[in-house]
């Protein structure tokens, strides 16, 4: 893989959930370079989460090619996932969940550590670094189930950062956060993109996006209907405009 | 092994068998309750029961048939839900019903033929007439269950935490999951003759439920659950044999009583009450 190659390259990709008789994504083609900040918008059920899970190889690609971080997603999904962070949407942990914050963040390293091996010093240092980045030092020994939704969100973001990802896929990362936490995450995302990490974010909270040029990808009915650059202030207009354009047509 | 401490061979064998079976089941009970697959464990126990009754009917090794039936349920579940377009829960309900029907058919038919006694033993367990080989097999599965947890502890903890997150961090969830189901099926099949198909579920859920009342960390659950299960099972075996009571049902009742006491004295519940 040369530096000019796109970090994510999808060509005519069709994706289907297990047992489904129809593809959820149809004919998706998308190229994303290292260090880009991509906002994925569109109505509910448009296929935004499915696109993220296709990129990290969690869903079966029924047709087309997908190369992420130089690995073919179809045959090498596990290696892709070791290099791609993915923050899921809508989670809530039971108060009796028997894991502390530190343990949860360390789990982010498990794929890279490999089977039959124990975490080493490097892994624990990565966990400490992620805890510092998110500013969650004071809650690191607490059970995750006893934290607020926003704190749990931060812990899972730290879990993803602990494995030093090349790409971060964030599905509604601002949904549980108050405005102060949103500002913190914004600053962090700006810093990560400046450091060369590619960020793809599915969000409806367009006012919470970092102040930097972004690429907007709008989806509808499992297809990409718009893919263009934008300033953060324009994102909402661009997404709404794309949606109207299709519904009018 | 316990002959030095317990003079009576029958009691000694029964205690050893209950000890190994309870430790194996209790270790797996932590996984079963935390991964929330207790319906799978329940259906596997009944599939093993059905397999064993079929084995007795056809004069094939019942333990082998129980293993095959238990493993088959685990591997049938996914394809059945996909092909029939039903939820895994409904698929388990169907498989459970089918297994019970098969077991009851063979038991009833063997009674008609005058061969019902040995199958009835599989319902409620029998710790008295055990061969040494059966106890060695139980010791083996006990070691397998412990080694399994020790070797893939980190993968298992991630799966217990959140299956999808475990997959997203690069863990090969499916192979680990299937190995886990295989070990559960093997344990269920080997414990079936001493605990019984109808009671096995108590051993596969209650020890972890008791441990959860006191433990805040998963690692401590893997120690507390087998310890509690061992004490309760040995007590059940000793009391049952001393007073000529059915051992497995008595132990199952003891497990339930210990669970009730654990809920009452649980420090977690005290904290929850104080908060509310």
Quick: pLDDT tens for A194-214: 889 999 999 887 777 777 788
Quick: pLDDT tens for B36-54: 888 888 888 889 999 999 9
User: What percentage of chain A exceeds 90 in pLDDT?
Assistant: 53
Quick: pLDDT tens for A210-239: 777 889 999 999 999 989 888 777 788 887
Q: What is the pLDDT of residue A1?
A: 67
Cβ neighbours for A36, distance < 8 A, ≥ 6 positions apart: A193, A198, A199, A215
Cβ neighbours for B47, distance < 8 A, ≥ 6 positions apart: B69, B70, B72, B73, B95, B99
Q: Is 70 exceeded by the pLDDT of residue A246? A: no
Q: Write out chain A residues lying below 8 Å of B168, CB-based.
A: 56, 58, 81, 86, 88
Mean pLDDT value of segment A167-192: 86
Q: Is 80 exceeded by the pLDDT of residue A23? A: yes
pLDDT category of residue A249 using cuts at 50, 70 and 90: very low
Q: Which of A175-179, B191-195, B214-218 has the lowest mean pLDDT?
A: A175-179
- Contact B212/A at CB under 8 A: yes
Q: What is the pLDDT of residue B271?
A: 60
d(Cα B28, Cα B148) in Å, to the nearest integer?
A: 10
Mean pLDDT value of segment B102-127: 80
Q: Is 90 exceeded by the pLDDT of residue B153? A: yes
Q: What is the pLDDT of residue A136?
A: 93
Q: What is the pLDDT of residue A248?
A: 46
Place of tokens 């464990």: B41
Q: Do B216 and A58 touch (CB under 8 A)?
A: no
- Contact B151/A at CB under 8 A: yes
Q: Which residue has the higher pLDDT, B76 or B137?
A: B137
Quick: pLDDT tens for B56-71: 889 998 888 998 998 8
Quick: pLDDT tens for A84-110: 999 998 778 888 788 999 999 999 999
Which of B77, B85, B242 has the alpha carbon at shortest distance from B174?
B77
Which of A125, A128, A199 has the alpha carbon at shortest distance from A158?
A128
Q: Testing the interface with B: which of A57, A83, A94, A98 to mutate, by most B Cβ within 10 A? A: A98
Total residue count of chain B as it appears in this document: 276
Q: Which of A54-63, B112-121, B188-197, B241-250 has the lowest mean pLDDT?
A: B112-121
- pTM, rounded to two decimals: 0.85
pLDDT category of residue B270 using cuts at 50, 70 and 90: low
- Contact A48/B at CB under 8 A: no
Q: Under a CB-based contact definition with an 8 Å cutoff, are residues A71 and A155 in contact? A: no
Q: What is the pLDDT of residue A47?
A: 92
Of A19, A78, A108, the CB nearest to B172: A78
Mean pLDDT of chain B: 87
- Contact B152/A at CB under 8 A: yes
Q: Write out chain B residues lying below 8 Å of A81, CB-based.
A: 167-170
User: What percentage of chain B exceeds 90 in pLDDT?
Assistant: 46
pLDDT category of residue A178 using cuts at 50, 70 and 90: confident
Q: What is the pLDDT of residue A18?
A: 74
Q: Testing the interface with B: which of A21, A107, A130, A144 to mutate, by most B Cβ within 10 A? A: A107
Q: What is the pLDDT of residue B268?
A: 74
3-class secondary structure, A37:
strand
Q: Is 90 exceeded by the pLDDT of residue A26? A: yes
Cβ neighbours for B89, distance < 8 A, ≥ 6 positions apart: B39
Q: Which residue has the higher pLDDT, B119 or B103?
A: B103
Q: Which two tokens stand for residue B272?
A: 């929850």
Cβ neighbours for B7, distance < 8 A, ≥ 6 positions apart: none
d(Cα A72, Cα A234) in Å, to the nearest integer?
A: 34
Mean pLDDT value of segment B15-28: 94
Quick: pLDDT tens for B203-253: 999 999 999 999 888 999 999 999 999 999 999 999 999 899 989 999 999
CA B207, B211, B215 angle in degrees (round to 5)?
A: 165
Mean pLDDT value of segment B186-197: 88
Q: Is 60 exceeded by the pLDDT of residue B91? A: yes
Q: Is 60 exceeded by the pLDDT of residue B106? A: yes
């Amino acid at each position: 893989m040369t530096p000019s190659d796109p970090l994510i390259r999808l060509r005519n990709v069709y994706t289907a959930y297990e047992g489904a008789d129809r593809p959820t994504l149809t004919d998706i083609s998308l190229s994303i370079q290292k260090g880009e900040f991509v906002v994925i918008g569109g109505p509910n059920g448009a296929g935004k989460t499915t696109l993220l899970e296709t990129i990290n190889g969690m869903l079966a690609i029924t047709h087309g090619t997908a190369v992420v971080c130089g690995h073919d997603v179809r045959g090498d999904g596990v290696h892709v996932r070791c290099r791609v962070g993915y923050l899921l949407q809508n989670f809530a942990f039971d108060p009796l969940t028997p894991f502390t914050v530190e343990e949860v963040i360390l789990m982010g390293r498990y794929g890279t550590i490999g089977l039959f091996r124990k975490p080493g010093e490097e892994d624990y240092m990565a966990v400490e670094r992620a805890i510092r980045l998110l500013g969650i030092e004071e809650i690191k020994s607490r059970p995750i189930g006893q934290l607020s939704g926003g704190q749990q969100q931060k812990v899972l973001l730290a879990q993803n950062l602990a494995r030093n990802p090349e790409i971060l896929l964030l599905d509604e990362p601002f949904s549980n956060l108050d405005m102060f936490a949103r500002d913190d995450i914004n600053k962090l995302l700006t810093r990560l993109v400046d450091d060369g990490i590619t960020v793809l974010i599915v969000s409806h909270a367009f006012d919470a996006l970092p102040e930097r040029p972004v690429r907007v990808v709008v989806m509808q009915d499992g297809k990409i209907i718009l893919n263009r650059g934008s300033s953060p202030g324009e994102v909402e207009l661009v997404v709404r405009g794309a949606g109207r354009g299709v519904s009018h047509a | 092994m316990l002959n030095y401490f317990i003079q009576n061979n029958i009691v000694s064998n029964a205690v050893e068998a209950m000890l190994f079976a309870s430790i194996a089941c209790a270790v797996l009970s932590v996984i079963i309750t935390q991964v929330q697959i207790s319906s799978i464990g329940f259906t596997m126990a009944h599939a093993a029961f059905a397999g064993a009754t079929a084995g007795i009917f056809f004069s094939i090794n019942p333990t082998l048939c129980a293993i095959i039936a238990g493993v088959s349920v685990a591997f049938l579940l996914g394809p059945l839900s996909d092909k029939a377009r039903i939820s895994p829960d409904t698929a388990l309900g169907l498989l459970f019903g089918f297994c019970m029907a098969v077991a009851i058919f063979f038991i009833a038919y063997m009674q008609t033929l005058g061969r019902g006694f040995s199958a009835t033993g599989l319902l409620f367990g029998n710790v008295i007439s055990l061969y040494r080989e059966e106890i060695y097999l139980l010791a083996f599965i006990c070691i397998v269950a412990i080694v399994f947890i020790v070797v893939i502890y980190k993968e298992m903890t991630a799966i217990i935490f959140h299956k999808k997150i475990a997959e997203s961090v690069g863990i090969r969830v499916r192979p680990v999951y299937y190995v886990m189901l295989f070990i559960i099926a093997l344990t269920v099949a080997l414990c079936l003759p001493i605990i019984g198909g109808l009671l096995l579920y108590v051993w596969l859920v209650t020890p972890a439920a008791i441990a959860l009342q006191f433990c805040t960390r998963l690692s401590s659950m893997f120690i507390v659950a087998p310890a509690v299960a061992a004490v309760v099972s040995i007590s059940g075996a000793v009391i049952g044999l001393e007073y000529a009571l059915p051992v497995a049902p008595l132990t199952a009742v003891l497990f339930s009583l210990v669970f009730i006491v654990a809920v009452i004295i649980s420090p977690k519940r005290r904290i929850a009450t104080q908060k509310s």
